[in-house]
Structure 1
Amino acid sequence: MIETLLFLAEAHSEVEGGFGLNLDILDTNLINLTLLVGILFYYGKPLLGNILAERRAKIVEQIEAVEQKQKQAEITLAEEKKKLEEAQKTAVKIRQDAEVNAQKARETILAQGEKEVERLKEMAGKDLSSEQEKAIAQLRERVVALALEKARSSMGNMLNDDAQRKLIDNSIAKLGG
Protein backbone atom coordinates (compact mmCIF):
# COMPACT_ATOMS: atom_id res chain seq x y z
CA MET A 1 0.00 0.00 0.00
CA ILE A 2 2.69 2.42 0.98
CA GLU A 3 4.67 1.27 -2.04
CA THR A 4 1.72 2.11 -4.24
CA LEU A 5 1.50 5.60 -2.79
CA LEU A 6 5.21 6.15 -3.27
CA PHE A 7 5.00 4.87 -6.81
CA LEU A 8 2.17 7.21 -7.61
CA ALA A 9 3.99 10.13 -6.02
CA GLU A 10 7.14 9.40 -8.07
CA ALA A 11 5.16 8.96 -11.23
CA HIS A 12 3.48 12.23 -10.65
CA SER A 13 6.70 14.10 -9.93
CA GLU A 14 8.42 12.71 -13.08
CA VAL A 15 5.60 13.81 -15.26
CA GLU A 16 5.53 17.36 -14.01
CA GLY A 17 9.15 17.65 -13.19
CA GLY A 18 8.94 17.62 -9.45
CA PHE A 19 6.86 17.20 -6.43
CA GLY A 20 3.98 19.54 -6.53
CA LEU A 21 0.33 20.10 -6.20
CA ASN A 22 -1.97 18.61 -8.83
CA LEU A 23 -5.00 20.80 -9.23
CA ASP A 24 -6.81 18.62 -11.76
CA ILE A 25 -9.88 17.55 -9.74
CA LEU A 26 -10.86 14.68 -11.99
CA ASP A 27 -7.38 13.19 -12.01
CA THR A 28 -6.86 13.45 -8.24
CA ASN A 29 -10.35 12.30 -7.23
CA LEU A 30 -10.08 9.20 -9.36
CA ILE A 31 -6.73 8.30 -7.86
CA ASN A 32 -7.94 9.01 -4.30
CA LEU A 33 -11.10 7.06 -4.82
CA THR A 34 -9.18 4.10 -6.29
CA LEU A 35 -6.77 4.16 -3.38
CA LEU A 36 -9.59 4.37 -0.84
CA VAL A 37 -11.50 1.47 -2.43
CA GLY A 38 -8.33 -0.59 -2.63
CA ILE A 39 -7.43 0.09 1.00
CA LEU A 40 -10.95 -0.67 2.17
CA PHE A 41 -11.12 -3.81 0.09
CA TYR A 42 -7.73 -5.06 1.18
CA TYR A 43 -7.97 -4.27 4.90
CA GLY A 44 -11.72 -3.99 5.37
CA LYS A 45 -12.79 -7.25 3.78
CA PRO A 46 -11.57 -9.53 6.61
CA LEU A 47 -12.69 -7.04 9.29
CA LEU A 48 -16.10 -6.51 7.71
CA GLY A 49 -16.41 -10.27 7.08
CA ASN A 50 -15.64 -10.99 10.73
CA ILE A 51 -18.14 -8.41 11.95
CA LEU A 52 -20.85 -9.73 9.63
CA ALA A 53 -20.06 -13.35 10.56
CA GLU A 54 -20.29 -12.51 14.27
CA ARG A 55 -23.53 -10.63 13.74
CA ARG A 56 -24.94 -13.50 11.69
CA ALA A 57 -23.90 -16.01 14.39
CA LYS A 58 -25.60 -13.89 17.08
CA ILE A 59 -28.77 -13.62 15.01
CA VAL A 60 -28.79 -17.39 14.36
CA GLU A 61 -28.18 -18.01 18.06
CA GLN A 62 -31.04 -15.68 19.03
CA ILE A 63 -33.37 -17.32 16.50
CA GLU A 64 -32.48 -20.76 17.87
CA ALA A 65 -33.05 -19.53 21.44
CA VAL A 66 -36.46 -18.12 20.47
CA GLU A 67 -37.38 -21.35 18.68
CA GLN A 68 -36.31 -23.35 21.75
CA LYS A 69 -38.40 -21.10 24.00
CA GLN A 70 -41.34 -21.48 21.63
CA LYS A 71 -41.02 -25.27 21.70
CA GLN A 72 -40.76 -25.21 25.50
CA ALA A 73 -43.80 -22.92 25.68
CA GLU A 74 -45.77 -25.30 23.44
CA ILE A 75 -44.76 -28.26 25.63
CA THR A 76 -45.72 -26.34 28.77
CA LEU A 77 -49.02 -25.29 27.19
CA ALA A 78 -49.82 -28.90 26.29
CA GLU A 79 -48.97 -30.04 29.82
CA GLU A 80 -51.11 -27.30 31.36
CA LYS A 81 -54.01 -28.15 29.04
CA LYS A 82 -53.70 -31.78 30.13
CA LYS A 83 -53.66 -30.71 33.78
CA LEU A 84 -56.72 -28.52 33.18
CA GLU A 85 -58.61 -31.41 31.59
CA GLU A 86 -57.67 -33.67 34.51
CA ALA A 87 -58.76 -30.99 36.99
CA GLN A 88 -62.08 -30.60 35.17
CA LYS A 89 -62.60 -34.37 35.23
CA THR A 90 -61.75 -34.43 38.93
CA ALA A 91 -64.17 -31.56 39.56
CA VAL A 92 -66.96 -33.41 37.74
CA LYS A 93 -66.22 -36.58 39.73
CA ILE A 94 -66.17 -34.64 43.01
CA ARG A 95 -69.49 -33.00 42.11
CA GLN A 96 -71.04 -36.38 41.26
CA ASP A 97 -69.70 -37.92 44.47
CA ALA A 98 -71.03 -34.98 46.45
CA GLU A 99 -74.47 -35.37 44.88
CA VAL A 100 -74.47 -39.11 45.65
CA ASN A 101 -73.33 -38.46 49.22
CA ALA A 102 -75.94 -35.73 49.64
CA GLN A 103 -78.67 -38.09 48.39
CA LYS A 104 -77.48 -40.83 50.78
CA ALA A 105 -77.36 -38.36 53.66
CA ARG A 106 -80.84 -37.13 52.79
CA GLU A 107 -82.20 -40.67 52.71
CA THR A 108 -80.46 -41.49 55.99
CA ILE A 109 -81.83 -38.37 57.65
CA LEU A 110 -85.33 -39.08 56.36
CA ALA A 111 -85.14 -42.69 57.58
CA GLN A 112 -83.92 -41.54 60.99
CA GLY A 113 -86.68 -38.93 61.07
CA GLU A 114 -89.29 -41.57 60.30
CA LYS A 115 -87.88 -43.83 63.03
CA GLU A 116 -87.93 -40.93 65.46
CA VAL A 117 -91.54 -40.11 64.55
CA GLU A 118 -92.52 -43.76 65.07
CA ARG A 119 -90.68 -43.83 68.39
CA LEU A 120 -92.39 -40.62 69.50
CA LYS A 121 -95.78 -41.99 68.45
CA GLU A 122 -95.09 -45.19 70.36
CA MET A 123 -93.98 -43.23 73.42
CA ALA A 124 -97.04 -40.99 73.15
CA GLY A 125 -99.24 -44.09 72.91
CA LYS A 126 -97.55 -45.60 75.95
CA ASP A 127 -97.82 -42.32 77.84
CA LEU A 128 -101.48 -42.07 76.86
CA SER A 129 -102.14 -45.66 78.01
CA SER A 130 -100.24 -44.98 81.20
CA GLU A 131 -102.18 -41.78 81.80
CA GLN A 132 -105.47 -43.58 81.07
CA GLU A 133 -104.57 -46.32 83.55
CA LYS A 134 -103.62 -43.69 86.13
CA ALA A 135 -106.88 -41.83 85.52
CA ILE A 136 -108.88 -45.09 85.77
CA ALA A 137 -107.03 -46.05 88.96
CA GLN A 138 -107.71 -42.60 90.43
CA LEU A 139 -111.37 -42.87 89.44
CA ARG A 140 -111.62 -46.31 91.06
CA GLU A 141 -109.99 -45.02 94.21
CA ARG A 142 -112.34 -42.09 94.23
CA VAL A 143 -115.38 -44.32 93.60
CA VAL A 144 -114.28 -46.71 96.36
CA ALA A 145 -113.66 -43.77 98.71
CA LEU A 146 -117.05 -42.32 97.86
CA ALA A 147 -118.70 -45.72 98.23
CA LEU A 148 -117.05 -46.28 101.60
CA GLU A 149 -118.01 -42.84 102.73
CA LYS A 150 -121.58 -43.39 101.64
CA ALA A 151 -121.62 -46.80 103.25
CA ARG A 152 -120.35 -45.36 106.51
CA SER A 153 -122.78 -42.57 106.43
CA SER A 154 -125.66 -44.92 105.63
CA MET A 155 -124.46 -47.44 108.18
CA GLY A 156 -124.10 -44.74 110.74
CA ASN A 157 -127.75 -43.86 110.19
CA MET A 158 -128.93 -47.46 110.10
CA LEU A 159 -126.98 -48.69 113.02
CA ASN A 160 -128.07 -47.03 116.09
CA ASP A 161 -127.36 -48.51 119.55
CA ASP A 162 -130.25 -51.01 119.52
CA ALA A 163 -129.51 -52.18 116.00
CA GLN A 164 -125.85 -52.59 116.83
CA ARG A 165 -126.71 -54.80 119.86
CA LYS A 166 -128.98 -56.95 117.81
CA LEU A 167 -126.33 -57.34 115.12
CA ILE A 168 -123.71 -58.25 117.69
CA ASP A 169 -126.01 -60.70 119.45
CA ASN A 170 -126.93 -62.39 116.16
CA SER A 171 -123.28 -62.61 115.18
CA ILE A 172 -122.39 -64.16 118.58
CA ALA A 173 -125.24 -66.56 118.34
CA LYS A 174 -124.18 -67.71 114.92
CA LEU A 175 -120.62 -68.13 116.00
CA GLY A 176 -121.09 -69.64 119.43
CA GLY A 177 -124.20 -71.52 118.92
Structure 2
Amino acid sequence: MRSISEIVTPSSYWAPAGSIGLNTNIFEINLINLVLVLGILFYYGKGVLINFLENRERTISNTIRDAEERHTEATEKLLRARIRLQQAEIKADEIRISGLTQMDKERRDLVDAADNDLKGLEDSKNYAIRFEKQRAIEQVRQQVSRLASERALESLNNRLTNELHLRMIDYHIGLFRAMANKSA
Protein backbone atom coordinates (compact mmCIF):
# COMPACT_ATOMS: atom_id res chain seq x y z
CA MET A 1 0.00 0.00 0.00
CA ARG A 2 1.12 3.49 -0.70
CA SER A 3 1.68 6.18 1.80
CA ILE A 4 -0.41 9.30 1.91
CA SER A 5 2.37 11.38 0.51
CA GLU A 6 2.57 9.10 -2.48
CA ILE A 7 -1.16 9.35 -3.04
CA VAL A 8 -1.17 13.12 -2.95
CA THR A 9 1.97 13.41 -5.01
CA PRO A 10 3.53 10.59 -6.93
CA SER A 11 7.23 10.02 -6.51
CA SER A 12 7.97 11.29 -10.01
CA TYR A 13 6.92 14.78 -8.96
CA TRP A 14 8.88 14.94 -5.81
CA ALA A 15 11.37 17.67 -5.94
CA PRO A 16 14.95 16.97 -5.01
CA ALA A 17 14.62 19.15 -1.84
CA GLY A 18 11.75 17.05 -0.51
CA SER A 19 8.78 19.45 -1.14
CA ILE A 20 5.21 18.33 -1.58
CA GLY A 21 3.32 19.17 -4.84
CA LEU A 22 -0.03 18.62 -6.53
CA ASN A 23 -0.46 16.13 -9.30
CA THR A 24 -2.08 17.90 -12.29
CA ASN A 25 -2.02 15.05 -14.70
CA ILE A 26 -5.59 14.18 -15.35
CA PHE A 27 -4.89 10.52 -15.88
CA GLU A 28 -3.08 10.24 -12.60
CA ILE A 29 -5.65 12.05 -10.45
CA ASN A 30 -6.79 9.90 -7.70
CA LEU A 31 -9.61 9.99 -5.23
CA ILE A 32 -7.99 12.47 -2.86
CA ASN A 33 -7.27 14.94 -5.62
CA LEU A 34 -10.86 14.65 -6.71
CA VAL A 35 -12.12 15.19 -3.15
CA LEU A 36 -9.81 18.19 -2.75
CA VAL A 37 -11.03 19.76 -5.99
CA LEU A 38 -14.65 19.14 -5.11
CA GLY A 39 -14.10 20.47 -1.59
CA ILE A 40 -12.52 23.66 -2.93
CA LEU A 41 -15.30 24.09 -5.45
CA PHE A 42 -17.88 23.47 -2.74
CA TYR A 43 -16.23 25.85 -0.28
CA TYR A 44 -15.79 28.73 -2.71
CA GLY A 45 -18.75 28.01 -4.99
CA LYS A 46 -21.21 27.47 -2.16
CA GLY A 47 -21.96 31.21 -1.71
CA VAL A 48 -22.30 31.79 -5.45
CA LEU A 49 -24.61 28.79 -5.81
CA ILE A 50 -26.69 29.86 -2.80
CA ASN A 51 -26.96 33.42 -4.17
CA PHE A 52 -27.89 32.07 -7.58
CA LEU A 53 -30.56 29.79 -6.08
CA GLU A 54 -31.93 32.55 -3.82
CA ASN A 55 -32.17 34.93 -6.80
CA ARG A 56 -33.84 32.21 -8.82
CA GLU A 57 -36.26 31.55 -5.94
CA ARG A 58 -37.10 35.28 -5.67
CA THR A 59 -37.58 35.51 -9.42
CA ILE A 60 -39.87 32.48 -9.43
CA SER A 61 -41.88 33.72 -6.41
CA ASN A 62 -42.19 37.21 -7.99
CA THR A 63 -43.32 35.61 -11.24
CA ILE A 64 -45.87 33.47 -9.36
CA ARG A 65 -47.09 36.50 -7.39
CA ASP A 66 -47.42 38.55 -10.60
CA ALA A 67 -49.26 35.66 -12.27
CA GLU A 68 -51.62 35.38 -9.29
CA GLU A 69 -52.25 39.14 -9.38
CA ARG A 70 -52.92 39.00 -13.12
CA HIS A 71 -55.19 36.00 -12.55
CA THR A 72 -57.10 37.89 -9.83
CA GLU A 73 -57.32 40.97 -12.04
CA ALA A 74 -58.47 38.90 -15.02
CA THR A 75 -61.04 37.15 -12.83
CA GLU A 76 -62.39 40.52 -11.65
CA LYS A 77 -62.51 41.80 -15.23
CA LEU A 78 -64.31 38.64 -16.30
CA LEU A 79 -66.80 39.06 -13.47
CA ARG A 80 -67.41 42.70 -14.42
CA ALA A 81 -67.78 41.70 -18.08
CA ARG A 82 -70.31 39.01 -17.13
CA ILE A 83 -72.25 41.54 -15.05
CA ARG A 84 -72.24 43.99 -17.98
CA LEU A 85 -73.35 41.16 -20.28
CA GLN A 86 -76.24 40.28 -17.95
CA GLN A 87 -77.21 43.96 -17.75
CA ALA A 88 -77.06 44.21 -21.54
CA GLU A 89 -79.19 41.08 -21.88
CA ILE A 90 -81.72 42.49 -19.40
CA LYS A 91 -81.76 45.80 -21.28
CA ALA A 92 -82.15 43.95 -24.60
CA ASP A 93 -85.07 41.97 -23.13
CA GLU A 94 -86.66 45.19 -21.86
CA ILE A 95 -86.24 46.82 -25.27
CA ARG A 96 -87.63 43.74 -27.02
CA ILE A 97 -90.61 43.57 -24.62
CA SER A 98 -91.17 47.31 -24.97
CA GLY A 99 -91.03 47.00 -28.75
CA LEU A 100 -93.48 44.10 -28.73
CA THR A 101 -95.79 46.01 -26.39
CA GLN A 102 -95.58 49.12 -28.55
CA MET A 103 -96.17 47.06 -31.69
CA ASP A 104 -99.19 45.37 -30.10
CA LYS A 105 -100.58 48.73 -28.95
CA GLU A 106 -100.11 50.24 -32.41
CA ARG A 107 -101.74 47.17 -33.99
CA ARG A 108 -104.72 47.50 -31.62
CA ASP A 109 -104.91 51.25 -32.34
CA LEU A 110 -104.84 50.52 -36.06
CA VAL A 111 -107.56 47.88 -35.72
CA ASP A 112 -109.65 50.25 -33.58
CA ALA A 113 -109.18 53.06 -36.09
CA ALA A 114 -110.15 50.73 -38.94
CA ASP A 115 -113.21 49.58 -36.96
CA ASN A 116 -114.17 53.20 -36.28
CA ASP A 117 -113.72 54.08 -39.96
CA LEU A 118 -115.76 51.04 -40.96
CA LYS A 119 -118.47 51.95 -38.45
CA GLY A 120 -118.45 55.53 -39.73
CA LEU A 121 -118.75 54.28 -43.32
CA GLU A 122 -121.54 51.90 -42.25
CA ASP A 123 -123.39 54.75 -40.49
CA SER A 124 -122.87 57.01 -43.51
CA LYS A 125 -124.14 54.25 -45.81
CA ASN A 126 -127.17 53.65 -43.58
CA TYR A 127 -127.89 57.38 -43.44
CA ALA A 128 -127.61 57.63 -47.22
CA ILE A 129 -129.93 54.63 -47.60
CA ARG A 130 -132.50 56.13 -45.17
CA PHE A 131 -132.25 59.47 -46.90
CA GLU A 132 -132.76 57.92 -50.33
CA LYS A 133 -135.59 55.77 -48.96
CA GLN A 134 -137.33 58.83 -47.47
CA ARG A 135 -136.80 60.75 -50.70
CA ALA A 136 -138.22 57.86 -52.73
CA ILE A 137 -141.19 57.60 -50.33
CA GLU A 138 -141.74 61.37 -50.60
CA GLN A 139 -141.58 61.18 -54.40
CA VAL A 140 -144.07 58.30 -54.40
CA ARG A 141 -146.37 60.29 -52.05
CA GLN A 142 -146.17 63.32 -54.29
CA GLN A 143 -146.94 61.23 -57.35
CA VAL A 144 -149.78 59.44 -55.55
CA SER A 145 -151.07 62.75 -54.26
CA ARG A 146 -150.80 64.34 -57.70
CA LEU A 147 -152.47 61.34 -59.33
CA ALA A 148 -155.20 61.36 -56.66
CA SER A 149 -155.71 65.08 -57.14
CA GLU A 150 -155.85 64.69 -60.90
CA ARG A 151 -158.35 61.83 -60.63
CA ALA A 152 -160.41 63.72 -58.05
CA LEU A 153 -160.41 66.82 -60.25
CA GLU A 154 -161.26 64.74 -63.26
CA SER A 155 -164.03 63.00 -61.28
CA LEU A 156 -165.31 66.36 -60.06
CA ASN A 157 -165.23 67.81 -63.51
CA ASN A 158 -167.19 64.84 -64.82
CA ARG A 159 -169.79 64.94 -61.99
CA LEU A 160 -169.91 68.62 -61.37
CA THR A 161 -172.78 70.26 -63.03
CA ASN A 162 -173.65 73.91 -62.82
CA GLU A 163 -176.33 73.31 -60.28
CA LEU A 164 -174.03 71.25 -58.02
CA HIS A 165 -171.39 73.86 -58.45
CA LEU A 166 -173.74 76.66 -57.29
CA ARG A 167 -174.86 74.63 -54.25
CA MET A 168 -171.26 74.06 -53.17
CA ILE A 169 -170.47 77.73 -53.49
CA ASP A 170 -173.50 78.65 -51.41
CA TYR A 171 -172.58 76.05 -48.80
CA HIS A 172 -169.05 77.37 -48.41
CA ILE A 173 -170.22 80.97 -48.28
CA GLY A 174 -172.56 79.97 -45.46
CA LEU A 175 -169.69 78.37 -43.59
CA PHE A 176 -167.60 81.50 -43.93
CA ARG A 177 -170.49 83.67 -42.61
CA ALA A 178 -170.98 81.38 -39.63
CA MET A 179 -167.30 81.56 -38.83
CA ALA A 180 -167.31 85.33 -39.19
CA ASN A 181 -170.32 85.67 -36.84
CA LYS A 182 -168.71 83.47 -34.20
CA SER A 183 -165.51 85.42 -34.16
CA ALA A 184 -167.24 88.82 -34.06
**How far is 1:79 from its partner?**
0.8
Distance in 1, Cα, partners of 2:37 & 2:103: 93
Q: Which runs of 5+ in 1 are unaligned?
A: 1-7, 148-177
Give 1:121's aligned amino acid.
E
Distance in 2, Cα, partners of 1:21 & 1:53: 35
Aligned to 2:64: 63
Q: Which runs of 5+ in 2 are unaligned?
A: 1-7, 148-184
1:40 to 2:36 alignment? no
**How far is 1:38 from its partner?**
2.3
Distance in 2, Cα, partners of 1:31 & 1:15: 23
Aligned to 2:5: none
Distance in 1, Cα, partners of 2:126 & 2:106: 30
Poorly superposed stretches of 4+, deviation over 6 Å? 18-22, 133-140
* 1:21–1:115 CA distance, 2 compared to 1 (3 A): closer
Q: Size of the alignment, in residue pairs?
A: 137
Which structure carries more relative contact order (alpha carbon 8 Å, separation 6+)? 2
Distance in 1, Cα, partners of 2:39 & 2:16: 24
**How far is 1:131 from its partner?**
5.5
Aligned to 1:54: 55
Aligned to 1:99: 100
> Percent same amino acid at aligned positions?
31
Alignment of 1:11-160 (within 5 A): 13=14, 17=18, 28-128=29-129
* 1:21–1:105 CA distance, 2 compared to 1 (3 A): closer
SS of the residue aligned with 2:14? helix
TM-score using structure 2 length: 0.55
Distance in 1, Cα, partners of 2:20 & 2:113: 127
Distance in 2, Cα, partners of 1:21 & 1:85: 80
Distance in 2, Cα, partners of 1:132 & 1:21: 147
* 1:15–1:128 CA distance, 2 compared to 1 (3 A): farther
Distance in 1, Cα, partners of 2:61 & 2:140: 114
Distance in 2, Cα, partners of 1:57 & 1:15: 55
**How far is 1:129 from its partner?**
5.1
TM-score using structure 1 length: 0.56
Which structure carries more helix by proportion?
1
